[in-house]
Amino acid sequence: MNPPNAKKLLILIVDDNKELTSLYRTFFSRAGFEVTVANDGTDCLNILKKMKPDIMLLDVEMPDMDGNEVMEFMQQDEELKKIPVVVLTGTVAPENSGMKIHDVVYLSKLSDIEDVINYVKLEAGRKRA
């Protein structure tokens, strides 16, 4: 929990599964985060440009623009590429959850919510190069 006057960390949660984003919104809000949600890559990019969150929890497989395309776009922008990204995906096996590739943490969608929150808290303190 954050001290009463502490600035809450802003997390952008991006996934095309609206039930999942609603669930994660609830858990991250309870963990003391300010939460914004996007349900597709295009909406994600618009929010990124406007809000510049402290961290992003990103799905890979989305219909209009996948998470890899979002991260490629972020790398072209000096401000956006500094935002830490935690990828939450069904393509990572639970036993490989937590692996880091090119400064991005990959978590399985089957990970325990407390583990996801802990990884996000850890990564939120870092800015990407």
Task: Say whether pLDDT at 127 is over 80.
Answer: no
**pTM of structure:** 0.88
Which has more pLDDT, 129 or 96?
A: 96
Write the pLDDT tens digit of every residue in 17-44.
Answer: 999 999 999 999 999 999 999 999 999 9
Domains of the chain: total: 1
Residue 125: inside a domain: no
Q: List b or e across 72-108, with b for residues whose CB sees 16 or more CB atoms inside 10 angstroms.
A: ebbeeeeebbebbbbbbbeebeeeebbeeeeebbbbb
- Domain-embedded: residue 12: yes
Q: 30: domain range? A: 8-86
Q: Residues of the chain with pLDDT > 70: what percent? A: 87
CA distance 64 to 82: 24
Q: Tell me whether residue 3 is in a domain.
A: no
What is the rounded distance in angstroms from the CA atom of residue 124 to the CA atom of residue 129?
14
CATH number at residue 81: 3.40.50.2300
